[in-house]
């Protein structure tokens, strides 16, 4: 089955700096890669996603890039703000079953 690795496990940045989280996947048949943000005591919430036929997608301060050849994808957050502090998960879906395989998560802390 699919295996998703995520790095780093923790990330601390100063407000206004950029943050980058990287993930790799194992199954070349994976074709959809969402990113979720999980705040304390809440369920994960989708923040951005990318399909396998797209190399990059941007939504305001967040962007995701995908390298299918290398089987890795990354989340970029620019101009970080304290409210960006949370745990971020990458995930991958293989085929048509809509089964999400999650990475292990990155705890992002944005300091003032």
Partner 1 sequence: EAGVAQSPRYKIIEKRQSVAFWCNPISGHATLYWYQQILGQGPKLLIQFQNNGVVDDSQLPKDRFSAERLKGVDSTLKIQPAKLEDSAVYLCASRTITGFYNEQFFGPGTRLTVL
**Binding residues for partner 1 (CB under 8 A):** 4, 6, 32, 34, 36, 41-46, 49, 51, 89, 91, 96-105
* 14 versus 98: smaller Cβ distance to partner 1: 98
The distance of closest approach from Cβ of residue 15 to partner 1 in the complex, given in angstroms and rounded to an integer, is 26
The distance of closest approach from Cβ of residue 75 to partner 1 in the complex, given in angstroms and rounded to an integer, is 14
* 17 versus 58: smaller Cβ distance to partner 1: 58
The distance of closest approach from Cβ of residue 16 to partner 1 in the complex, given in angstroms and rounded to an integer, is 28
* 18 versus 51: smaller Cβ distance to partner 1: 51
Per-residue HEC secondary structure of the chain comes to CCCEEEECCEEEEECCCCEEEEEEECCCCEEEEEEEEECCCCCCEEEEEEECCCCEEEECCEEEEEECCCCEEEEEECCCCHHHCEEEEEEEEECCCCCEEECCCEEEEEEC
* 2 versus 78: smaller Cβ distance to partner 1: 2
Name the nearest CA neighbour of 47 among 28, 69, 19, 71.
19
């Amino acid at each position: 089955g699919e295996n998703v690795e995520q790095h780093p496990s923790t990330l601390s940045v100063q407000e206004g700096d950029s943050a980058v989280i990287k993930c790799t996947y194992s199954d070349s048949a994976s074709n959809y890669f969402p990113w979720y943000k999980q705040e304390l005591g809440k369920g994960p919430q989708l923040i951005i996603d990318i399909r396998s036929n797209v190399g990059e997608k941007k939504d305001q301060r967040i962007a995701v890039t995908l390298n299918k050849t290398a089987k890795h994808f990354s989340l970029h957050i620019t101009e970080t703000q304290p409210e960006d502090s949370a745990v971020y998960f990458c995930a991958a879906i293989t085929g048509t079953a809509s089964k999400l395989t999650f990475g292990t998560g990155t705890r992002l802390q944005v300091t003032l």
